[in-house]
Structure 1
Amino acid sequence: MIVKDLVQQMIDEDGVISVEKCGNINIYWCFKSQTLQTLYDSSEMLKKKIQDTEGDIATCKQELEKTLQLGRRQKFTVGQETYIRDVLLEQRKKTLEEIKKNSTKLQKIESIRWDAAKIQDKKQMVQLKKTQLEKITDNIEILVDYLYKKFFLQPEQIRKEFEIPEEFKEFADV
C-alpha cells in the first residue's frame, strides 16, 4: 500500500512518472530527458524569481538610502497636499485616545444591553441553577428524613444542629 501511494504521489504531484492505461494494464514510464526538462524548467523559474527579488531588494535599498539622506522632514507633500509631521502625530494621538474611550464605552454598553440571545442564555443559566438548587434541597430533606428514621432524632433538632434554615421544612412526615 505504501508503494502504491508513493507511485501515485510521484504521478500526481511531482510529474516524475507518467502513466498510460492500455486495456486493463497501467503502463508507467519515466524518460531521463523528461526529468531533465522538468528540472531545467524549475531552475529557470527559480532564477527568474531570484532576479525579481534582487531587483526588489535593490529598489528598497535605494529608497532607504534616499530616506536616510533626507532624514525626517517636518513638512512633506503627498500628491498636492502639504502635511506637517507634528500636527499629524498629535492628531493620531488624539484619535487613538478617542478610539480607546469609545471602545470602553462600547464594552460597557454591550455588557448591559440585552438581546434575545443573551436573555435566552440567562434563562438557561437560571433554569440550570434552579434545577441544581432543587436537587440540593431534596438531598437535604432526604438526609434529614434518613437521620430521623435511623436515629429517632426530631427533624427540628437535626435542622438546628446542622443549621439548616426553616425554609427547607416542607415534608416533615414523609
Structure 2
Amino acid sequence: MSKKKGLSLEEKRTRMMEIFFETKDVFQLKDIEKIAPKTKGITPMSVKEVLQSLVDDNMVDCERVGTSNYYWAFPSKALHARKRKLDELEKQHSDGKQRKAALQQAVEKAREGRQDTEERATLQKELQSLREQRAHLKAELDKYRECDPEVVEEIRKSNKTAKEAVNRWTDNVFAIKSWAKRKFGFEDSRINKAFGVPEEFDYID
C-alpha cells in the first residue's frame, strides 16, 4: 500500500481556520495544539507554524494578555479580508489592462511611418550611402592628417625633444668612457667592446 500523503500548508491553514469558524471561541496556543491534531489531522509539530502564518496574513487575531497569547478569528473578519483582497486584485487587474492598452497604443504610434513603402526604402538607401561617404571622407582625412601644419609642428617638437635626450645620454657615455680611461688606462676600443658601444657611436646632428 502507498503511504498516505500529508496535508499541504494551504490545507492545514484551511482546516485551522475551520476550528475558529466552527467554535467562534478564543484559544491559547496549547489549546490549538491539542485540538488541531485530533479534529483536523494537523501534525502537532506544524501547528505553531501554521497558526503564525495565519496571524502574519491577518487572518487570525492575536493578543497578548499577561504571559499568554490568545488567538481568535470570526467569519465576518475573514469575509472582509477576502473582500479587501478581491478589491485589491481587481484594481491590479484594472491597472494592468490600462497599462496594456497604453503600451499597445504606444506600439501602434511607433509603427506609424515605418511601413515598408517605396519612399522609406529610398530614404534608407540614401542614408546608407551617406554613411558610407562619411566613412570614406573620414578615412581620407586621417590619411592626409600627417600633412596638417599643426601635426607637422608637433612632430618637429617631438623630434627635437628626442634628439636632445639622445645627445644627453651620449654625453653621459663619453663621460663614463673618459673616467674609465683615466681610472684604468683602457683604450677606447676595449671599452667599446666591453660595453657594446658601436665604433661609430657619436652625437646626432
TM-score (normalizing by structure 1): 0.48
Q: Which has the larger radius of gyration?
A: 2
More strand by share: 1
